[in-house]
Homo-oligomer: A and B are copies of this chain.
Amino acid sequence: MFGLQEGPIDVATVRRAVSNPRFGAILVFEGVTRDNFDGREVAQLAYEAYPEMAIPALEAIGQQIAERWPGAKCAIVHRVGICPVEEASVVIAVGTPHRPACYQASRFALEELKAQVPIWKKEIYADGSAWKANTST
C-alpha cells in the first residue's frame, strides 16, 4: 500500500497492510502536525504532491526496503491538503522478521521520503503562511 490521500489517514489500515505471520516486529511511524514551529504557533499544515511522481517514488522506497532487508514489507500513505494539529501527515508501517531491521527500515523509509518524494508543505500560522523545506538532518 503506497498512496496519497485527502482527509485523515486510517493508521490501522496501513498497519494491516504489513501483517504477516513471519513478522516478529511491526513499527508504525506517524508524522504529526505540531502546534508550533520555531516558537511560532502553527494552526495547520497544507501538503501538496506531484502524484504522477510521488506514488512511484513511494513504491520505489518499498522496493528498496525489500532489497536491503530481505523479508521486510513496507506501506506508506501520505496526506495531501489540509492537515490539522495532532493529525498524521504521513503513516509508515514496516514489518520484519526481526526487530533491529524494523527500526532501520522504518527510519530509511522516512528519510528517503523526505529527500526524494515530490511533496511540499505549507505552514499556516494565525497571521500568515510559508512553504517549508525539509532539512537534511
Contacts and interface: CB of A to CB of B under 8 A. Distances in A.
Interface of A: 11-12, 15, 19-36, 85-86, 88, 97, 99-100, 102-103, 106-107, 110, 137
A32 B23 contact: yes
8 contacts: A21-B35, A22-B35, A23-B86, A24-B34, A25-B31, A26-B88, A99-B110, A103-B107
B28 A86 contact: no
Contact of A25 (B20, B21, B30, B102): B30
Report, nearest first, the 6 A-B pairs whose CB atoms are least far apart.
A21-B35, A26-B30, A24-B34, A28-B28, A21-B85, A21-B86
Nearest to A95: B32
